[in-house]
Chain A
Amino acid sequence: MLEIKNGKKILVTPVTAEDLKDIKIGDIVYLSGSLTTCRDVAHRRVVEAGRQIPVDVKGAAILHAGPIIRPLPDDKFEMVNVGPTTSMRMEKFEYEFTKRTGVRVIVGKGGMGPETARACKDFGAIHCVFPAGNAVVAAVCVEEIVEAQWRDLGMPETLWHCRVKEFGPLIVSIDSQGRNYFEEKKVEYNKRREEQLTKICKEVSFIK
C-alpha cells in the first residue's frame, strides 16, 4: 500500500507492483512494516543452494546490512545500530533472489547493476539507498525484532526480521521501469570530471 502522510510517501507492506508504478528514481520514500536484514551468505543460500528463505519477504523489504543487536530476555532482541552495506556485492544474486522470494523493496548502500535493474523491471521491485553512516536513525525506526532466522550465520549475517515505522529516508536508485539513478548520474559526473581536469591542468605546470 502507498500512503501519503504530510507529503511523505510511505510504502506499507505488503507492497504490490501497482504501488510502485509511479515511484521514480530520485524519489524519496519511507517504509512501514516488514523489513529483513539480508546480505551475502543469505543470498548465496537462496540462489546457489536453492534453499527456502525462512522469513517470508514476499511483498516486503530486505536491507543489505549487518546490525549490532543487543539480546533481551525471552529470546527477544533490541536493534542498537544498523546501517546499510554496499549493495553491489549482492548484484550477482539479486535477479534470482527477487524472482524466488518476491521481495519488492531492496535497500542498501550505493547503486546496483543491470541484473538488479532487470529484476526490478521484470518483477516490479525497486532498489533504494538509505544514507549510510546514519546507523542510529535507522535503528530507532525499528519498532520490534519479530524473529531471527539463520542464526548460525552469526550476528551480522542473521536474517533479522524487523517491524519498522517510517524507515527512511529511502532514495530510489532503481525504479520498477528499470531506470538506474547511479548509472545516469555517473555519465554526468564523468563528463564534468573531464571538464574540471582540463581546467586544473592549465594551472599546475610546475615542472618546467
Chain B
Amino acid sequence: MAHAEQVKKMTELVAKFVGYTGKVLPDDVIAKLEELRRNEDDPMAKVIYDTMFRNQQLAKDLDRPSCQDTGVIQFWVKCGTKFPLIDELEALLKEAVVKATFDTPLRHNSVETFDEYNTGKNVGKGTPTIWFDPVPKSDSCELYTYMAGGGCTLPGHAMVLMPGEGYEGVAKFVLERMTSYGLNACPPLLVGVGVATSVETAALLSKKALLRPIGSHNPNERAAKMEKLLEEGINAIGLGPQGMGGKASVLGVHIENSARHPSAIGVAVNVGCWSHRRGHIIFDKDLNYTVLSHKGVSL
C-alpha cells in the first residue's frame, strides 16, 4: 500500500474506533457494572443500574452515543520507533477526531482558551490530548483512547504532600475528593491515583491509571494493598450509582507510582465515570489491528 493510502486507512480506522467507543462501553466496564448491579439490593440503586443497561442497549440499537457528553478525546500512544506512520501519527490522530466528530456525531467539546470560542471540531491547540511514549525497536503502535467528559474531569486534583503526611495523607486526599466532587461525577467511579514526585508526574500517572483494565493491580505489593484498602473504604461510604446511595461507590481504584524526592510526595487523583469510554487498539506495521478493549468488534 502506498504511504498516503496507509495514512488514510489508519485515519479512518481510528475515527471509526473513536466513534464506536462513544456508543459501546469496554467489556471490563460492562462486566463490572453487571457485578455491581447483581450485588445491589437497594431498590433505587437497582432502578438506576437497570436504566444504564437499557441505555447501553438502546445506544447500540439506535447507533447513537450513549452519553451526550462525548468528552475531550485523549490518546495515550505507545508507538514503536519503527512503526511506518510514526511521523504522520500526530496529524493523523487529529484528523481522525475531526472525522469522528462529524460521522458519529460527537459533541463539540474543544474551546480555545483565552480566545474562548468553540472550534466546533473537537480539535484545538493541544486537543485531542496526545501522550506519546516511543517504544524502541518495535514496528507496531498501541493506542489507548479516552473520552474525558466534563463531569468526570471536574474532581481531578493534584498536590504535593510533605513526607510527614505519609501515605495516610494520600488516603485522606483521595477520600475527601470522593465525597465532595466525586458525588457529582456519575458514580460508580473508576478512581486513578498517581503517587510520584511532583504535581505533573503524579497527574499523568493518575490518568494512565484510568486506562488500565478494571481488576488489574499495581505490581508493587504495598501499592496493590493500598488499592484494595481504598476500594473497600470508598465502597463502604456507599455513594451508589449517581451518588444517591447504594452498596458500592467505585468500579475500582488503580494506583500508578514512580520514585520521589525524599522531601516530597506528589499525589493526584483522576476520576472516570460509570460511562468509562476507554478504548485499546494495537496496529501492526501493515495496519492489521487488534482491539483489546471490546471483544469481537470489527471496524
Please report A residues at the B interface, Cβ cutoff 8 Å: 26, 28, 65-68, 80-83, 86, 88, 109-110, 129, 131-137, 139-140, 169, 171, 173, 181-182, 185-186, 188-190, 192-193, 195-197, 199-201, 203-207
Q: How far is the CB of B19 from chain A (nearest CB, A)?
A: 14
B151 neighbours in A (Cβ, 8 Å): 86, 109, 132
Q: If the complex has contacts A131-B242, A133-B66, are A207 and B233 also in contact, measured as CB distance less than 8 A?
A: no
**When the two chains form the complex, which single residue of B183, B186, B222, B233 contacts A196, counting CB atoms closer than 8 Å?**
B233
Consensus secondary structure, chain A interface:
mixed
Are B54 and A196 neighbours in the complex by a CB distance under 8 Å?
Answer: no
The 0/1 profile, CB within 8 Å of A marked 1, for residues 35-77 of chain B is 0000000001001100110110011001011111100000000
B105 interfacial by beta-carbon distance below 8 Å: yes
Q: How far is the CB of A83 from chain B (nearest CB, A)?
A: 4
User: Which 4 A/B pairs are nearest by Cβ-Cβ distance?
Assistant: A196-B233, A134-B55, A204-B167, A135-B68
B245 neighbours in A (Cβ, 8 Å): 185, 188
In the complex, which residue of chain A has the Cβ closest to the Cβ of B182?
A189
A28 neighbours in B (Cβ, 8 Å): 44, 47
Please report B residues at the A interface, Cβ cutoff 8 Å: 44, 47-48, 51-52, 54-55, 58-59, 62, 64-69, 105, 107, 151, 163, 166-168, 170-172, 175-176, 178-179, 183-184, 186, 222, 225-226, 229-230, 232-234, 236-239, 241-245, 273-275
- Highest count of chain B CB atoms <10 Å: which of A65, A88, A197: A197
**When the two chains form the complex, which single residue of B51, B229, B243 contacts A200, counting CB atoms closer than 8 Å?**
B229
A207 neighbours in B (Cβ, 8 Å): 163, 166-167
- Highest count of chain A CB atoms <10 Å: which of B67, B168, B172, B178: B168
- In the assembled complex, the Cα of A207 lies from the Cα of B233 at a distance in Å of 21
Are A197 and B66 neighbours in the complex by a CB distance under 8 Å?
Answer: no
**When the two chains form the complex, which single residue of B55, B184, B230 contacts A136, counting CB atoms closer than 8 Å?**
B55
In the complex, which residue of chain A has the Cβ closest to the Cβ of B170?
A204
B232 neighbours in A (Cβ, 8 Å): 196
Q: How far is the CB of A204 from chain B (nearest CB, A)?
A: 4
A203 neighbours in B (Cβ, 8 Å): 225, 229
